[in-house]
């Protein structure tokens, strides 16, 4: 029987921005529960919630102070249990965001670790003596800029942080730490959680000798300081695969097809290793290629073909257009092509993940300087690396604050929220929302789209075309990635969906047109 995560679609909720239930301007668990019916109507199968654990919010939840609790801003454990039950009642799976590479500096473990060199938890984090010059142990750079080493005056050593200094990295070479973190997975699986997205999985183990990373000869300051070196020794170490395999064995010990999804930004050939080298690892190593790919048909065709060819036996593909860290698809390709991108995401072979708001065509929102929240933007201003623009509140209707909150939203709404909202698009047959619903409905109705085979088709100009089939059912998808008409002979059959509506023109795809056609035998 096909696991749900192969045939289903996943929806990412950024909890601060989805729905506020108590008027403090920040989304919460009860707010998510109140909007579950939107997700059911949309047609997704699972909800992935970005971190909701207790946190000082130095990095908005990715600095965890307690892995087995709920931050009061979002609610309580009872609220979580109620949300989980409500999701399951509606046939929705619920996934949490596991942050195993680092904790908050306010976590009791780190407080003990930094209290003295001989504390039993000292080795739960990564401590090193100064380098020969008295400075940091090596040249490793934080992903948020600056040295990845923070000096601790009290104990006379540096600790390592791949991100903020408030996010010290955990030492996964310590067996006690490893056991404690595996118990975190069990805690949430025992509560009924259906799986996890694992944050920065490829960062989790560092080279045991901590050598310098090689300089990047192509570095330019506008890339962000983290790119000044290649992260050869600070990420993607061989030992991480044994950890991922242990996580997988825990997930597989629970009933109901629990799933693990790994956040891994690596070239495809290295990404594939996370399906499992010697034992199964994560079910879905996130495939982020569409986020950075040039929006050109031939380039996308090559990317898709190479990815399909690289999959190991039994490896299931997955696709993503955006997330809480990267610019939204509507900003990258424009509103018209965002509709074509939706058709691509939801008809390729593999599990799609939809970022909240993409289903109504949300674009990045310009954030005034005095409203900036993101520590990355505050540390390296002016480089366009800030993530606030893609984390703005979900507009639900045209009431005050778009129905998101009765208070002051933690980030500003987009300028078009009075017309670009769920309620308005729900009654507009030509809206992005209705297109998403139609495509997700087709995935459920047609096995060829959900789990069928795939092959690229020959096409001219800026047309990307492919066929999906299962048994006798064959479906052709043709996408015009330009605003100009392109030659393409649409096969005879039933047009199941179109980005533009109406009847296709013979021998031509209109500008910004994508079609899904059930072909005649």
Residues marked as catalytic: 199, 263
Cross-strand bridge partners of residue 353: 10, 320
The Cα–Cα gap between 494 and 184 comes to 49
Please identify which residue in the block is written with the tokens 């505050």. 378
For 53, phi and psi rounded to 5 degrees?
-80, 160
**Dihedral angle over CA of 207, 199, 441, 316, nearest 10:** 20
- Would you state the structure tokens that stand for residue 130, as one six-digit string? 């100064």
- Name every residue whose Cβ is closer than 8 Å to that of residue 61 and which is 6 or more positions away in sequence: 15, 16, 50, 51, 52, 53, 55, 71, 97
For 269, phi and psi rounded to 5 degrees?
-65, -30
Q: How many helices (H) and strands (E) does the chain have?
A: 16, 18
For 66, phi and psi rounded to 5 degrees?
-160, 110
- Would you state the structure tokens that stand for residue 288, as one six-digit string? 């982020």
By C-alpha distance, which of 1, 188, 32 is closest to 97? 188
Q: Where are the alpha helices (DSSP H) in 222-296?
A: 240-252, 268-271, 289-292
Pairing of strands 514-519, 473-480: antiparallel
Q: Given 3-state DSSP classes, what are the helix, strand and coil percentages for the chain, each rounded to the nearest 5?
A: 30, 15, 50
Q: Are 289 and 306 in contact (CB under 8 A)?
A: no
| Ramachandran quadrant class, 320 (left: phi over 0; alpha: psi -120 to 50; beta: rest) | beta
């Amino acid at each position: 029987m096909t696991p749900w995560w192969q045939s289903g679609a996943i929806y990412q909720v950024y909890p601060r921005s989805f729905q506020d239930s108590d008027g403090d301007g920040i989304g919460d668990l009860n707010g998510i529960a109140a909007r579950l019916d939107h997700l059911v109507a949309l047609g997704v199968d699972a909800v992935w919630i970005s971190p909701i654990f207790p946190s000082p919010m130095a990095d908005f939840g990715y600095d965890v102070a307690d892995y087995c609790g709920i931050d009061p801003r979002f609610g309580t454990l009872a609220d979580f249990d109620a949300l989980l039950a409500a999701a399951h009642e509606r046939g929705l799976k619920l996934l949490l965001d596991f942050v195993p590479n680092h904790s908050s500096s306010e976590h009791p473990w780190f407080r003990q670790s930094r209290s003295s060199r001989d504390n039993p938890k000292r080795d739960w984090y990564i401590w090193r003596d100064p380098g020969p010059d008295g400075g940091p142990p090596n040249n490793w750079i934080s992903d948020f800029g600056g040295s990845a080493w923070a000096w601790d005056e009290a104990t006379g050593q540096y600790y390592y942080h791949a991100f903020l200094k408030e996010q010290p990295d955990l030492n996964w070479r310590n067996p006690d730490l490893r056991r404690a973190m595996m118990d975190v997975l069990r805690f949430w699986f025992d509560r009924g959680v259906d799986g996890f997205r694992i944050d920065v999985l490829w960062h989790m183990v560092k080279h045991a000798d901590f050598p310098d990373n090689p300089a990047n000869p192509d570095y330019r300051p506008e890339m962000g300081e983290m790119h000044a070196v290649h992260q050869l020794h600070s990420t993607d170490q061989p030992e991480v695969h044994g950890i991922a395999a242990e996580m997988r064995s825990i997930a597989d010990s629970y009933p109901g097809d629990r799933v693990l999804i790994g956040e891994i930004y690596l070239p495809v050939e290295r990404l594939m290793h996370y399906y499992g080298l010697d034992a199964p690892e994560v079910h879905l190593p996130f495939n982020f290629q569409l986020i950075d790919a040039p929006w050109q048909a031939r380039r996308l065709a090559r990317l898709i073909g190479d990815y399909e060819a690289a999959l190991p036996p039994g490896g299931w593909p997955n696709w993503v257009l955006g997330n809480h860290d990267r610019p939204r698809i509507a900003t990258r390709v424009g509103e018209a092509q965002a509709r074509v991108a939706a058709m691509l995401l939801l008809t390729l072979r593999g599990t799609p993940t939809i970022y909240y708001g993409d289903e109504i065509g949300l674009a990045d929102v310009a954030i005034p300087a005095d409203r900036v929240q993101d520590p990355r933007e505050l540390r390296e201003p002016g480089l366009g690396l800030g993530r606030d623009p893609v984390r703005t509140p979900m507009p639900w209707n045209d009431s005050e604050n778009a129905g998101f909150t009765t208070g002051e939203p933690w980030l500003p709404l987009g300028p078009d929220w009075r017309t670009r909202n769920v309620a308005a698009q729900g009654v507009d047959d030509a809206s992005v929302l209705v297109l998403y619903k139609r495509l997700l409905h087709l995935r459920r109705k047609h096995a060829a789209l959900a789990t069928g085979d795939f092959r690229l088709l020959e096409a001219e100009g800026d047309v990307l075309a492919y066929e999906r089939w299962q048994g006798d059912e064959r479906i052709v998808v043709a996408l015009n990635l330009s605003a100009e008409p392109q030659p393409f002979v649409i096969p005879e059959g039933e047009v199941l969906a179109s980005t533009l509506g109406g009847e296709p023109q013979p021998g031509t795809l209109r500008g910004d047109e994508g079609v899904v056609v059930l072909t005649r035998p």
